[in-house]
């Protein structure tokens, strides 16, 4: 499962750049609007809204923006009609890729995603062609810093985590989807700072590509991520650290 956050860590670092913050807030706003419209505006009873609000807070989205998004979801402010869309395909080297989108125009989004795949040496697939390669998990990411990894792992397991995977500068904690909130709260109650917590599609098995193909997949993932309607992107590639380091150096 460790292939997921190696690329995600780069994505999060890039998402923190001021030039991209406006686009990020737009995507977070859409998630809140959709959550409200599907299950109501009370975070206490709406699990998906709680996750969306927490994700917005993790990315330093102002509380006023969150409040406006909730009102738009309620219909008290003008809003657009959004729908969820899952698109799947193959990248260079046969990498399996899944794109989740929130869109007010399905045809436009499908065309943009198809074009992005094509220009990057991949192709959009049929529904169900690669989603079976992924399972949904809760994923909590913690930057290690001065944390004792062994102690952190024990606390995570005690809180209900299924697996803990240390990386070079952070730790991935995997949970059942319904246990995500409980594990996060338990860690924070132990004064552990959570970098992010999200529901994520995690590859059941990963593939390794040569350096050229892996770099091409990274470029494709970034291009897909940057599309206005994209909510999340995942692949089944386990990127070697040296490839990621070279890729980061090019940014």
DSSP string, 111-168: HHHHHHHHHTT-EE--TTSSGGGEEEEEEEEEE-TT--HHHHHHHHHHHT-SEEEE-S
Per-residue pLDDT band at 92 (split at 50, 70, 90): very high
Query: Three-class SS of residue 107?
Result: helix
Percent of the chain surpassing pLDDT 90: 45
Instruction: Answer whether residue 37 shows pLDDT above 90.
Output: no
Question: Which whole number is the average pLDDT over 127-146?
Answer: 89
Q: What are phi and psi of 4, to 5 degrees?
A: -65, -60
Per-residue pLDDT band at 171 (split at 50, 70, 90): confident
Beta bridge partners of 123: 90
Supply the pLDDT for residue 4: 47
Question: Which whole number is the average pLDDT over 89-96?
Answer: 96
- For the entire predicted model, the pTM comes to 0.80
Supply the pLDDT for residue 250: 76
Report how far residue 207's alpha carbon sits from residue 166's, in angstroms, rounded to the nearest whole number: 20
pLDDT digits (tens, 9 = 90+) for 209-226: 999 999 999 999 989 988
Q: Which domains, and CATH codes, for the chain?
A: 3-74 (1.10.10.200), 83-132+206-243 (3.30.70.980), 134-203 (3.30.70.980)
Question: Which whole number is the average pLDDT over 181-208?
Answer: 89
The answer to whether residues 92 and 213 touch, using CB atoms and an 8 Å cutoff, is yes
């Amino acid at each position: 499962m460790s292939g997921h956050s190696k690329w995600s860590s780069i994505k999060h670092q890039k998402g923190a750049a001021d030039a991209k913050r406006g686009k990020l807030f737009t995507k977070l706003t859409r998630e809140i609007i959709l959550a409200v419209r599907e299950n109501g505006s009370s975070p206490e009873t709406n699990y998906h809204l709680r996750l969306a609000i927490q994700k917005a807070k993790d990315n330093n989205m102002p509380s006023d923006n969150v409040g406006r998004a909730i009102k738009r979801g309620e219909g008290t402010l003008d809003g657009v009609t959004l729908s969820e869309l899952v698109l799947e395909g193959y990248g260079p080297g046969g990498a399996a890729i899944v794109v989740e989108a929130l869109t007010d125009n399905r045809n436009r989004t499908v065309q943009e995603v198809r074009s992005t795949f094509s220009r990057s040496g991949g192709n959009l697939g049929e529904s169900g062609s690669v989603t079976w390669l992924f399972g949904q998990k809760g994923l909590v990411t913690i930057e290690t810093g001065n944390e004792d990894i062994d102690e952190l792992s024990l606390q995570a397991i005690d809180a209900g985590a299924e697996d803990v995977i240390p990386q070079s500068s952070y730790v991935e904690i995997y949970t059942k989807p319904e246990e995500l909130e409980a594990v996060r709260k338990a860690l924070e109650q132990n004064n552990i700072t959570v970098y992010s917590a999200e529901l994520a599609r995690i590859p059941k098995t990963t593939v390794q590509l040569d350096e050229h193909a892996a770099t091409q997949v990274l470029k494709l993932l970034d291009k897909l991520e940057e599309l206005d309607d994209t909510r999340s992107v995942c692949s089944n590639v386990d990127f070697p650290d040296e490839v990621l380091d070279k890729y980061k150096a090019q940014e």
